[in-house]
């Protein structure tokens, strides 16, 4: 079975990586808004959020649920939906950790992780939280496709009503 795909405009890809650099040595985090197509997800916007993990923001991240409520409301108003999240791993690989899996509850959404090494963004990886539900969840590698300007224009054309 092929990996699912996560399509992302180049500008949003750059922005979420820069957010990781700016937040270093803390973990950055944010929400991915867009749409789903078949089993794939198409990001329109990567929205930076506050990391509200007070005790250990250098090794943990946590989003304020109120930010999610407000972003979902905004997304609904323009026909988008929440399709995933991103966060950074300062000086650690762009792979999900046991904590990432234990604390991921949005089955069907993408989780994007960027390795920030000494303040510079290195690899960025995407994982789909798949499974039937919370008690059956696991991360699967996802194919992150960054769209260049021409592809983005074609993509927008394809989805416009």
Catalytic residue numbers read 27
Distance CA 122, CA 20 (A): 10
Whichever of 118 and 148 has its CB closer to another protein, that residue is 118
Whichever of 10 and 93 has its CB closer to another protein, that residue is 93
Of 124, 53, 26, residue with least CA distance to 84: 124
Distance CA 127, CA 26 (A): 21
Q: Is the dihedral of CA 146, 152, 157, 161 positive or negative?
A: positive
Whichever of 8 and 112 has its CB closer to another protein, that residue is 112
Q: How far is the CB of 63 from another protein (least distance, A)?
A: 4
**Token reading at 122:** 């290195």
Which residues are near another protein by CB under 8 A? 27, 29, 31, 53, 56, 59-63, 65-66, 68-70, 72, 81-83, 85, 87, 89-90, 92, 96-109, 111, 132-134
Q: How far is the CB of 148 from another protein (least distance, A)?
A: 28
């Amino acid at each position: 079975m092929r990996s699912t795909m996560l399509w992302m405009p180049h500008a949003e890809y750059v922005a979420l990586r820069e957010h990781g650099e700016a937040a270093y040595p803390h973990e950055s985090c944010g929400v991915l808004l867009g749409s789903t197509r078949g089993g794939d997800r198409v990001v329109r916007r990567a929205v930076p959020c506050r990391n509200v993990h007070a005790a250990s923001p250098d090794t943990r991240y946590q989003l304020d649920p109120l930010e999610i409520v407000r972003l979902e409301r905004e997304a609904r108003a323009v026909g988008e939906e929440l399709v995933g999240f991103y966060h950074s791993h300062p000086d650690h690989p762009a792979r999900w950790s046991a904590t990432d899996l234990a604390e991921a509850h949005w089955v069907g959404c993408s989780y994007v992780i960027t390795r920030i090494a000494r303040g510079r963004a290195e690899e960025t990886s995407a994982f789909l939280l798949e499974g039937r539900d919370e008690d059956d969840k696991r991360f699967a590698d996802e194919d992150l496709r960054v769209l260049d300007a021409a592809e983005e224009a074609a993509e927008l054309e394809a989805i416009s009503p």
